[in-house]
Amino acid sequence: MNNNTFLYRVGLNPENFINRDIEPIKTDEGLLYLVEERKDIRICPYCNNNLKNEIKKYYYTNINVSSNSNMKEILQIKRVQYICKNCNKTFTNGLKGINGHNTISEFIKNQIIHDFRQKLSFKQISEKYHISIGMTIKLFDEQVTVTPTGHLPKVLCIDEYHFETNKDSKYICILIDYETRTVFDIIQSRQKAYLEEYFNRFNSKELERVKYFCSDLYDEYASIKRKYFPKAIHIADKFHVIKQMTTIVNMLRTRVMNKVVEYKSKEYNFMKKNWKLFLKRQEDIPNKTYYHQSSGIETSYGDLVFNCVKLNEHFSKAYNVLQDLYKYSDKTTYTEATEFIRFIYERLRLSTLDELVKVGNTFYKWRHEIANSFARNATGYNISNGIAENMNNHIATIIKIAYGYSNYERFKKRVLLICKYNKNWI
Ligand SMILES: [Zn+2]
């Protein structure tokens, strides 16, 4: 292999080395490349003498130039130490691309720093570059800074994610700028004290920038909204509204499966295997048939969902309410949306099943915010559809990647780096 090509690839300047072809040596660890530093540059940095400087000794430096988890690559440099005959001092020449006593080249270091923006865990990055996790984290802590956030966004979405930062805080809050689809900031806990401490830092003019406040149905958000964003429109995230119902439908499906139908009957097997179909919009159920082996009977998916749901009054009610929720139209006015949500919660509150009444009460309590999310005219925005399903999944993935970060500040910095400064994070 040509020396120059290789050196350029790992970010070193070939001018510092004796030009000759290099063949990598296979070792137990990976590949070893041997290069030799040039010996004809002998200007003493102390007295500028370049005449009688002599070679004092040779020594070897190993530089890790791996950038592929499959193969460790080590560059071994035969280095020269000179002694100045004029001032009697010893010196070495610096190598462009290698900083001080670092064991990785600057080029590789920059690649690693770049990878901190990618959806790669610290462990994956360590493996890719064949360095220890400790070193990866040290690089992250020392080399990466995340600048403070700018202005509060016009459409502020707040959502929590499971992440234990300490004993009494199991959820962190992620603030999203809806319009730019970026993570605005992260708050350590969704508890009142933390939320207030966070929003207290903004002056009233800054807080007034927020025209729409979008959240799930968590009570603390309602009081935060009232206290800090009194003039903004509060929108209940549609995804979370629907999730209230899908959770109940799923619970009732399990209940019917285990208590109402016969074990291993057609309905039992179908409900167990195709649980997702019960949470879908009716029109999205695939046009397929289900074959029950022991009876030899074939039934369409649609019919089977219908038959199963019919088995229990509460299951049937929950399923129908969910289907009605799916039927909302984005073109509805605020009044129509209010009527629509009333139609939903009234039915739930009339139920004899506590769980359904409870959801009905939640919907009642949040009726205005839910109506805001269903009514297009009230907001001009069609908030929460996209954010919910798409961004939530991505953030959840990033949190999983970040999970090993015992240190919350480090975790926060990493999440912000991935979600704020990597335009392609979604
Ligand atoms: Zn000298």
User: How many residues appear in the chain?
Assistant: 426
| Separation of CA 16 and ligand 1 centre (Å) | 21
What is the spatial distance between Cα 241 and Cα 337, in angstroms, rounded to a whole number?
14
Ligand 1 center from residue 62 Cα (angstroms)? 28
Residue type for position 32: L
Distance 43 CA to ligand 1 centre (A): 8
Distance 47 CA to ligand 1 centre (A): 4
Give distance in angstroms: CA of 52 to centre of ligand 1. Answer: 9
The H or E element spanning position 163 is strand 155-166
Residue 210 DSSP one-character state: -
Ligand 1 center from residue 79 Cα (angstroms): 19
What spacing in Å lies between the alpha carbon of 56 and ligand 1's midpoint?
Answer: 13
CA of 100 to the centre of ligand 1 (A): 21
Task: Write down the architecture of domain 155-237+383-421 according to CATH.
Answer: 2-Layer Sandwich (3.30)
Say how many Å lie between the CA of residue 32 and the centre of ligand 1: 35
What is the separation of C-alpha 164 from the centre of its chain, rounded to a whole number of angstroms? 16
Report the amino acid identity of residue 255: R
Q: How far apart are CA 352 and CA 22, in angstroms?
A: 81
Taking the CA of residue 335 as centre, how many other CA atoms within 13 Å lie in the half-sphere pointing to its CB? 0
Contact 82, 41 (CB under 8 A): no
Distance 39 CA to ligand 1 centre (A): 16
Whether 195 and 228 have beta carbons less than 8 Å apart is answered as no
19 CA → ligand 1 middle, Å: 27
pTM for this prediction: 0.75
Q: How far is the CA of 209 from the centre of ligand 1 (A)?
A: 64
Domain residue extents for the chain: 3-110, 155-237+383-421, 239-378
Helix (H) / strand (E) containing 426: none
Distance 93 CA to ligand 1 centre (A): 13
Alpha helices by DSSP H, 172-292: 192-199, 204-207, 219-228, 238-259, 266-273
CA of 134 to the centre of ligand 1 (A): 39
Measured in angstroms, how far is the CA atom of residue 58 from the centroid of ligand 1?
Answer: 19
Tell me how far the alpha carbon of residue 86 lies from the centroid of ligand 1, in angstroms: 5
What pLDDT shows up at residue 381? 60
In this structure, how many other beta carbons lie within 10 angstroms of the beta carbon of residue 232?
Answer: 20
User: What does pLDDT average to in each consecutive run of 10 residues of the chain (426 residues)?
Assistant: 80 87 88 90 88 89 90 92 92 85 86 90 92 91 84 90 73 86 86 94 95 91 96 89 94 93 89 94 92 86 94 96 86 85 95 96 95 73 57 77 73 83 62
Q: Using alpha carbons only, what angle is made at residue 391 by residues 127 and 129, rounded to the nearest 5 degrees?
A: 10
Rounded distance from Cα 90 to ligand 1 centre (Å): 8
Q: How far is the CA of 366 from the centre of ligand 1 (A)?
A: 80
Instruction: Count CB neighbours of 243 within 10 A.
Output: 15
Q: Which of 219, 84, 229, 78 is nearest to 153 (CA)?
A: 229
| In the block, residue with structure tokens 């940095």 | 45
Q: What is the signed CA dihedral for 226, 227, 228, 230, rounded to 10 degrees?
A: 40
pLDDT of residue 76: 92
pLDDT on residue 104: 87
Residue 102 Cα to ligand 1 middle (Å): 26
Among residues 287, 339, 361, 348, the alpha carbon closest in space to that of 318 is found at 348
Quote the ligand 1 centre to 84 CA distance (angstroms). Answer: 5
| DSSP string for residues in 306-334 | HHHHHT-HHHHHHHHHHHHHHT--TT--H
How far, in Å, from the CA of 77 to the mean position of ligand 1? 24
- Return d(Cα 277, Cα 274) in angstroms, integer: 6
